[in-house]
Amino acid sequence: MSLTTIVSYDGTPNDEDALTLARELAELGARLILAYVRHGSSDPDLERARELLARGAAMLPDAHVETRVVRNGSTSEGLRELALAEEADLIVFGSEYRTPAGRVAPQRSTQQLMQGGPVSIAIAPAGHLERPVRVIGLLAGLDDAAAIDTAHAFANHFGARVTDRSDGVDLLIVGSRPEARHGQTLLSAHAEHAIVGTTAPVLIVARGVAVDLASELYIA
């Protein structure tokens, strides 16, 4: 079964960071679908939105990229609806506008999906550059098999080691709270604090659903 991932893209520098993270995921065997969420009449018309997506796709020359335009007044709700319609497994975001280079700060739409979103979430640091993954941080309860399995799957792929630290790592994997519904993201205050300001890409794993690297990966 394919692993379907959604990425919001509007051509801003921080969304280009999400493309860099998408390119890293594509190296694991991804098929990419790039999407733009139109909010209303003040947004670019359909043709201009498609041109924007085409420019984004051109930044991923070694990957097969599909594009899609979504219309919704809210970016988070548009992505939520798309995730449910596509039975997605992962949403990838860049960091908030004006985040210092090398740091992670969730956008508002990211924050809205971090607490009750229907799928796992990945966040790229501002100015994200590809780098070897040698150390993976894992913040998860001992009963969170999905987050633990995901961390070790990535570790096996990259030849990395897993630690319970959140600083000094190349990828930070965070589990959801025990009371989250199956397939839902729900973070503790401690996890939210650890995410803000970290220097590594973050992967928030939905409760009970590991990110399966053995599957084909889609990014929309």
3-30 tens-digit pLDDT: 677 788 888 888 899 989 888 877 766 6
- pLDDT for 119-144, tens place per residue? 999 999 999 998 899 999 999 999 99
Give the Cβ contact number of residue 199 at 10 Å: 16
What dihedral angle (degrees, nearest 10) is formed by the CA atoms of 135, 60, 80, 118? -30
Asked if residue 34 lies in contact with residue 9, where contact means CB atoms within 8 angstroms, the answer is yes
Residue-number span of the structural domain to which 148 is assigned: 3-219
The answer, yes or no, to whether residue 116 has pLDDT greater than 90, is yes
Pull the structure tokens for residue 15.
């969304």
Distance separating alpha carbons of residues 10 and 54, to the nearest angstrom: 11
Chain position carrying tokens 């733009």: 36
Q: Which of 28, 31, 105 is nearest to 63 (CA)?
A: 31
* pLDDT more than 70, % of the chain: 91
pLDDT at 5: 76
Number of domains forming the structure of the chain? 1
Res 29: pLDDT: 61
Could you give the count of Cα atoms lying within 13 Å of 191 in the half-sphere of its Cβ? 23
Does residue 218 have a pLDDT over 70?
no
The whole-model pTM stands at 0.91
CB 195, CB 123: distance < 8 Å? yes
Residue 42 has pLDDT above 70, yes or no: no
Q: Model confidence at 210, in pLDDT bands (50, 70, 90)?
A: very high
Please tell me the distance from the alpha carbon of residue 198 to that of residue 202, in angstroms, as a whole number. Answer: 8
Q: pLDDT tens for residues 53-69?
A: 899 888 877 777 788 88
Q: What is the CATH number of the domain that holds 13?
A: 3.40.50.12370
